[in-house]
Amino acid sequence: MASSSFDTIVIGSGPGGYVAAIRAAQLGMKTAVVEKDTVGGRCLNYACIPAKAVLRVADVLSEVREAGEFGIKVADPEIDYGAVMQRREKVITTLTGGVSGLFKKNKIELIEGEARLAGSGTVAVGDQTYEAKHIVLATGSVKKPIPGASFGGRVIGTEEAWALSELPRRIAVVGAGASGAEIASAYARLGTEVMLFEALDRVLPTEDADISKLAERGLKKQGMQIFTKTFVQDVETGADSVSFTYNGEKGEVDWLIIAAGRGPDVEALGLADAGVEVDEKTGLLKVDGAQRTTASGIWAIGDIVPGPALAHKASDEGVIAVEDAAGLETHPISYPDIPRATFCTPNVASFGLTEEQARDAGHDVVVGKVQYGAVGAGTVYGDRTGLVKIVGDRKYGELLGGHIVGSKSTEMIQELVNVKALEGGYPEVARMIHGHPTMSEAVMEAARAADGWLIHG
């Protein structure tokens, strides 16, 4: 006999789990959340939020250093790294405290411990067993090593990289995807010597090639060394440093940070015993468009299922899962149309297909490109090198993808995402009135370029 029973139990309290729990409670379900670590999961405590807190410091430092370009004289800024870490902790506790408050507001019970699926609609946590009509798995991801290296000593993952107690003198970052680029950009601007390695032929290799090229140029201006088509090997960690080889050369740094991928955190769940099937190639759980697993009464969301490993994707999947559990009509997510954001400098944001992907898919591709400097705001605010690129299909004016590199791109991309969601195309964006002078005018001009009537450019 279970010690307690609920309508819904959510395992994991990250952006997917806590949103799912709140939505379940809103729908009148008696809800509990099981968390083995700290409320907010890895995103709020170790990854997304701490990363952006440190990146914001680097942004402010860059603005101070560039103040002379705007006619403001300031002394050389100094970094109080201890204060940086204190602010990081304050940001984390503020947001995780907010989630705890939302749990209380919505009468969601928090169960502390590691959960295991115990069969027949039950979840075991330690010596306690809980019944649930609906179970949502939202356990997130764990770091993965690279071949020939293991975590330990001076070899760390991205989560530890954002929590270093002292500002490192020199670091190596393996993997130039979103996480690696963010770490490299933050520490390079804080004064650390940075070596950034990528096995593929360019940084941010999943982004559109034009965007990746400009992003790499911006990263190099921050003083870091970038090595593409390069593998890090022969990793040896010592008491105060870690050594490795690359391209026949030897490197030595304070910390080697592996940012080359993550895997689903499902080992403790007992999936096989519960009848939850896993894709053998990816290790991800098999789900349908409503996030249902192969086991009745169990849904799965976030990094443990297919699709991009993004917090906002997990949140939306959480809403879909519990609404399906409640008997509401839901719709599957179009994964390509989820906005993607990288908060390095320059910011990079995108959605949909790259130009190459669109051509490979057989579309009659039309492209519109405009630099920030083509509109007034780019010059006013000091970013003329940013770029907006729109990828469309010529026949019906379909908006296939949007790609932006430059300041505020992570905010600007949402306009194109919304237009696509509302079944608009690039001709509609071209004729929407945009405020002046704003960076968003560059989005409008890129749409005009795709439509064949660019004004400023």
Q: How many whole angstroms separate alpha carbon 440 and alpha carbon 413?
A: 9
Cα three-residue angle 441-447-451, rounded to 5 degrees: 140
- DSSP per residue over 126-187, as a string? TTEEEEEEEEEE---EEE---TT--SBTTEEEHHHHTT-SS--SEEEEE--SHHHHHHHHHH
Residue from 134, 403, 434, 436 carrying the catalytic annotation: 436
The single residue listed with the structure tokens 């010597």 is 193
Instruction: Tell the burial category of 453 from Cβ atoms under 10 Å away from its Cβ (0-12, 13-18, 19+).
Output: exposed
- Residue 33 CB coordination number (10 Å): 28
**Catalytic annotation on 434?**
no
Bridge pairing between strands 340-342 and 348-352: antiparallel
Beta carbons of 371 and 384 less than 8 angstroms apart:
yes
For residue 332, give Cα distances in angstroms to 128, 337, 413, 438. Answer: 35, 12, 22, 34
Q: How many whole angstroms separate alpha carbon 119 and alpha carbon 273?
A: 7
Nearest to 256 by CA among 161, 186, 333, 328: 161
Beta carbons of 223 and 230 less than 8 angstroms apart:
no
Q: How many whole angstroms separate alpha carbon 53 and alpha carbon 88?
A: 6
Beta carbons of 293 and 308 less than 8 angstroms apart:
no
Q: How many whole angstroms separate alpha carbon 309 and alpha carbon 357?
A: 20
Q: How many CA within 13 A on the CB side of residue 78?
A: 3
Inter-axis angle of helices 441-451 and 409-421, nearest 10: 50
Instruction: Enter the tokens of residue 261.
Output: 């991928």
Q: How far is CA 376 from its chain centroid?
A: 30
Q: How many whole angstroms separate alpha carbon 59 and alpha carbon 323?
A: 39
At 70, give phi and psi (nearest 5°): -105, 10
Active-site residues: which are they? 436
